[in-house]
Structure 1
Amino acid sequence: MASATHRMKVLSLYKEMLRESQKFNSYNYRMYALRRIRDAFRTNKSLVDSSQIQSEMDYALKNLDIIKRQAMIGHMFRADKLVIEK
């Protein structure tokens, strides 16, 4: 039961991080964030110890706050789109 709860929370956090990283204006930041999120969750996929899972989730929540803050700052200081985005 506990693993199912952890699984749902982790999946929800993963989706929210991906959603928030899509809000970056800069293509480079957006792609970097997506790669880092996917790699981190893929690396920790095999964790079974609940204390380790909770520790990684706390770390991910801190990073989610950073992503939200940086995306907001990025909207304040817009730059031209790159050629690859047009």
Structure 2
Amino acid sequence: MAASSRAQVLDLYRAMLRECKHFSAYNYRTYAIRRIRDAFRENKSAKDPVEIQTLVSKAKRDLGMIRRQF
């Protein structure tokens, strides 16, 4: 993974976790954080640049959905 895409993925991961902390419901907040961590761990061994870009764009859509939730 190139350094720029690695930095982009880490920024996206941090942003998603940061946004989830705004949920007022404890159960929903912990569920969202657990799902984000699991998804990033599951895909951390991805090497194909096309697959990485697909995963990044999906994560950006999910971040937008998280931001619209509150």
Shorter-chain TM band? over 0.9
Supply the distance in 1 between the matched residues of 2:43 and 2:10 (Cα, whole angstroms).
Answer: 12
Unaligned residue ranges in structure 1 (runs of 5+)? 73-86
Which residue pairs with 1:49 in the alignment?
48
Q: TM-score, normalised by structure 2?
A: 0.96
Supply the distance in 1 between the matched residues of 2:35 and 2:29 (Cα, whole angstroms).
Answer: 10
SS of structure 1 residue aligned to 2:43: helix
* Pairs aligned (count): 70
Q: Tell me how far 1:68 sits from its aligned partner.
A: 0.7
Which residue pairs with 1:80 in the alignment?
none
Which residue pairs with 1:59 in the alignment?
58
Identity value in percent: 51
SS of structure 2 residue aligned to 1:25: coil
Q: TM-score, normalised by structure 1?
A: 0.79
Supply the distance in 1 between the matched residues of 2:46 and 2:21 (Cα, whole angstroms).
Answer: 27
Runs of 4 or more consecutive aligned structure 1 residues displaced over 6 Å after TM superposition: none
Bigger radius of gyration among the two: 1
